[in-house]
Structures are given as structure tokens and as C-alpha cells.
Amino acid sequence: MGAITRGIANNILGNGAVDATDALSGTIPATNIGNPSLANLTTFPPSVDAGIPQVAGDPPSPSDGDVWYNTNTYKLKVRGASAVGGSWSVGGNMNTSRFRHSTSKSGSKTASLVTGGNSPQTVNTETYNGTSWTEVNDLNTAKAQHAGAGTQASALAFAGNNPGPITVNNESWNGTSWTEVGDLNTSRRYIMGFGADNTSALGIGGFVGPPTSLNVGNTESWNGTSWTEVADLNAAKRISGSSGVVSSGLLYGGNIAGTYQSQTESWNGSAWTEVADLNSAREGMGGAGVDNTAALTFGGDEPPVSVKTELYNGTSWSEQNDLNTGRNGMGGDGSTTTAFATGGDTPPVTNATEEWTGAASNLNVDLA
């Protein structure tokens, strides 16, 4: 890297005299400098190595302020503060006011659709392009309190109440129209769900009855043809927020025996594990996110209806800037950086949409 310059201060001895034994050339040969940069290091002096861990990549769950050396990129890195800086703004109104509707859980604000819902119960389906909502072909069966998965091009709407009886009904969307396909094994309403498209989804928990009326923890996996029961939730619940895909997802909040919850459960593709609780217990919130390491949840009922927004970073939930209008039973989709909340009961039932823009990320940044 060539010579490194130095000031005369390098030659001042402790008693104030000038050390002239090495000549005041003003430079130090590069051959005399070990590891002259914070980048592209291969070894650390023992005193530094004791305090800075070396990681092949980034740590799985760093805390704010942690420092490490990424041995893949040869960069010293730091976990910045999980700043509160995102905000909600007004988006385009849906054509139909509703609550307890489903959202396709695409993980994208501009690739989502909503179906069904109450007030009154409807078959209406709408797609969102990030600016406005467009009515497309209706469901075959009106339903509410159901769940959804997929995108505008490939989606599912399943279970719920249609009206009156609780149903096992499942409909598949091909980008143009809805077709009834394989039923769930267990009929339920207030069900939660997520998934990538109409060939891959999870149906989670919910409420069954009458004659037996209770929450269930059943989780069913859809493969494009049929539903298979997989591992149950740790706590049977209904009306939780949800986001993810069949290999990695989250379920947060909800209702157990009439009590609102703050629990979060993480899905790894085969089992549920309890992780960090929400800061505020509630039910009926919206959710956004693409896996079990990052999620955004908003609104719901505490009671009263909530404006609260919380962000999950894979380790813990942090409170963010509030919705402009509190609401319960809304639809929500997107990511932690760009998302929407639509419909719900404020009261009254609304067609209003709000859009979330997250703060610029300052996490896991290079120091050199």
C-alpha cells in the first residue's frame, strides 16, 4: 500500500525531547506496518481479536451496537440502532368497504389482492397496484373471517364463514378467475394463513363450532392438490396477525379464550417455536413480511381499536410510528419497508387504505 506518513509527534519522547535516532523522514515504510487497514484483514493482534468476533458472513441475530469482522467480505461491521423512522400515509380507497376480509400475503404492496369480508358479506375481489384498487372476478362463495395466500397472479382464499356455517371451502385464483379446489380437513373461521401462491400455503389455527366452540391449533399445509395436517401451534388461538411462506413464517397476537395475546410463534417449515412477545397484546391486526426474520404488524383491537405499529427484526418487536386511523379486522400485505393496511372496522367499517414507508436501513453496515 506504499508508505504511510507520520507527524513529528511520533518522535517526541516522554520527557519532551526529540528522538533523532531514526531520522525525521516523515514516512514509515509499509514493510514496517502490520495490517495497515480495517479492510481486507486476515489476522488480528491478540488484544483486538479478543474483543471483535470473526464471522463468516453476519451473525444470525445481532443486537444493536454489536461489532464483528465479516471474513467473507473482509469488512468490519456494526449493527446500527433499530431506528423508528417509518410512517403511514394515505393510499387509494378500496371500491368496497369491508372487514374480516383476506389478503393474499404476497410480501409486496403492489402484488396483492383482497377477497370477501363482512358488512355485508361479499364475494368481491380487488387488486392493488400501489395507487388504486381494481375490481376483478368474484369468489364463487361469499365468505368472511377466512384466510388468504399468494399474489395477484396466483392465490388462495380458504375456510371462514359463508354466511352461517363455518366452512372448509378453498378457492384458487389463476390471475383471472376463482375455482373451487380441495377442502381443508378442519372447518373453521377466524383462521390465519400465508403462502407464496396457489400451490403452496398454510392454514393456521382459528375457531370451530358450534356445537363445539373452541380455538384450535391445527396447522394444514396445501401442496396445490390437497391439505395435510402438520405440526400444531403451541397455543390454540384465533384472529392473529400472520406473514411468511410455507418454509418460514410468523404468527403474532390473537385471542385465546376471550383474552387478547402478545405471543409470537415462529414457523421453520416443520414446527412452531415461541419467540419474543409483542409490546401490546391485541387481536385482528394486519401483518406484512416474507419470512420469520422480519415482520410488521399494525392496528387491531386492544380494546379500543389500535393505531399501534410494531416491527420485528428477528429478535424482538419495537414500536414504530402509528397508523393515522385505528382499525380492527383489516387487510394488510407487503414487507417491513413498504406495506399497506386496508379496510377494517374503525368503527364504522371503512374502505380506507394507508401505506407504510419504512425508515432507511442502518443495520449491519460496513465500518470500513
Q: What's the rounded mean pLDDT across residues 14-24?
A: 53
- Quote the CA–CA distance of 334 and 341 in Å, as a whole number: 9
pLDDT at 56: 84
3-state secondary structure of 12: strand
Neighbours of 162 (CB within 10 A): 20
Backbone angles phi, psi at 357, to 5 degrees: -120, 115
Kindly tell me if the per-residue pLDDT of 131 is higher than 60. Answer: yes
Q: Give the cell for residue 330.
A: 383489516
C-alpha Rg value of the chain to the nearest Å:
26
H helices then E strands: how many in the chain?
Answer: 1, 34
> Angle at the Cα of 84 (from 80 to 87), degrees rounded to 5?
135
> Angle at the Cα of 216 (from 215 to 222), degrees rounded to 5?
135
Respond yes or no on whether the N-terminal peptide bond of residue 347 is cis (omega within 30° of 0): yes
Say if CB 70 and CB 86 are below 8 A apart: no
Note the residue count of the chain.
368
Residue 37 binned pLDDT confidence (cut-offs 50, 70, 90): low
- Quote the CA–CA distance of 283 and 261 in Å, as a whole number: 7
This prediction has a pTM of 0.77
Domain ranges of the chain: 87-361
Cα dihedral 244, 250, 253, 258, rounded to 10, equals 90
3-state secondary structure of 250: strand
Q: Give the cell for residue 142.
A: 361469499
Q: What's the rounded mean pLDDT across residues 181-210?
A: 96
Report the chain's terminal Cα–Cα distance, integer Å: 16
For 241-255, the pLDDT digits (tens) are: 999 999 999 999 999
- Quote the CA–CA distance of 348 and 363 in Å, as a whole number: 39
Q: What's the rounded mean pLDDT across residues 57-62?
A: 74
Q: Which residue, 176, 173, 279, 159, is CA-closest to 219?
A: 159
Q: Which residue, 342, 338, 284, is CA-closest to 104?
A: 342
pLDDT at 266: 98
Backbone angles phi, psi at 113, to 5 degrees: -140, 155
Residue 74 binned pLDDT confidence (cut-offs 50, 70, 90): confident
Q: Kindly give the residue spans of alpha helices, DSSP state H, lying in the chain.
A: 46-49
Q: What's the rounded mean pLDDT across residues 271-279?
A: 98
Residue 336 binned pLDDT confidence (cut-offs 50, 70, 90): very high
Q: Which fold has domain 87-361?
A: Neuraminidase (2.120.10)
Q: Give the cell for residue 160.
A: 371462514
* Sequence-ordered list of residues with C-beta below 8 angstroms from that of 342, at least 6 positions apart, any chain: 91, 94, 103, 114, 128, 330, 331, 332, 351, 352, 353, 354
More confident residue, 46 or 96: 96
pLDDT at 215: 96
Q: Give the cell for residue 50.
A: 479478543
β-bridge pairing 264-267 and 317-319: unpaired
> Angle at the Cα of 43 (from 41 to 49), degrees rounded to 5?
110
Query: Partners of 155 in the beta sheet?
Result: 150, 173
More confident residue, 360 or 304: 304
pLDDT at 209: 80
Average pLDDT, the chain: 88
More confident residue, 38 or 314: 314
Q: What's the rounded mean pLDDT across residues 158-173?
A: 92
For 149-160, the pLDDT digits (tens) are: 999 999 999 999
Q: Give the cell for residue 8.
A: 513529528
pLDDT at 76: 77
pLDDT at 265: 98
